[in-house]
Amino acid sequence: MLSWPSQSRRPLRHTAHISCQVVRERDFRLVADRVVNLSLNGMLVGPADPVLTGEKIIVSFPSPIKGKWIDAEAKVTRVLHGRRPGEYRRSLGLEFEHLDADSRAVLQECLERIPPTPPGTRRVTPDARRIEEALKFGRRNSARLA
């Protein structure tokens, strides 16, 4: 069995439907109000107003178990527009940039009690299948020419 070094794996995401306040730092405008999933490194929030990738965000939410509020500074790392299969609304992927030690400890303790988010399934559409076949064909032909 293959084992992975712990530093190469990202923390597990945990499903947590919690009210929150996600505010854009530059104008203090509320851009999202619901945690979808949570990890030690960040969170997925929605529904979301339009925000740019890389924008600085301030996040505040109650810890799922202890009831203490966690405040963090974060950066938008992904904007999901709700157009792909399996996406139903706009969401934001946030990466924590500053989370104090007490908040991190509370969050870690809470995440140990919440089940992890099940892995998503990748849908293979006919277009994706054709692209994969074309790539395989191209690799075979380039190997013959070398």
User: Does residue 135 fall inside a structural domain?
Assistant: no
> Do residues 81 and 87 make contact, with C-beta atoms less than 8 angstroms apart?
yes
User: Does residue 130 fall inside a structural domain?
Assistant: no
CATH number reported for the structural domain that contains residue 42 in this entry: 2.40.10.220
User: Does residue 55 fall inside a structural domain?
Assistant: yes
> Do residues 61 and 91 make contact, with C-beta atoms less than 8 angstroms apart?
no
Which residue range(s) make up the domain with 109? 9-121
User: How does pLDDT run across 87-113, given as a tens digit for each residue?
Assistant: 667 889 999 999 999 889 988 988 888
User: Does residue 82 fall inside a structural domain?
Assistant: yes
| Predicted local confidence at residue 18, as pLDDT | 86
- HSE-CB at 24 with a 13 A cutoff on CA atoms is 14
Vertex 19: Cα angle to 18 and 24 (nearest 5): 120
How many domains, in total, are found in the chain? 1
User: Does residue 128 fall inside a structural domain?
Assistant: no
User: Does residue 77 fall inside a structural domain?
Assistant: yes
pTM given for the model: 0.70
Higher pLDDT residue, 4 or 141? 141
Higher pLDDT residue, 132 or 19? 19
Vertex 100: Cα angle to 19 and 104 (nearest 5): 60
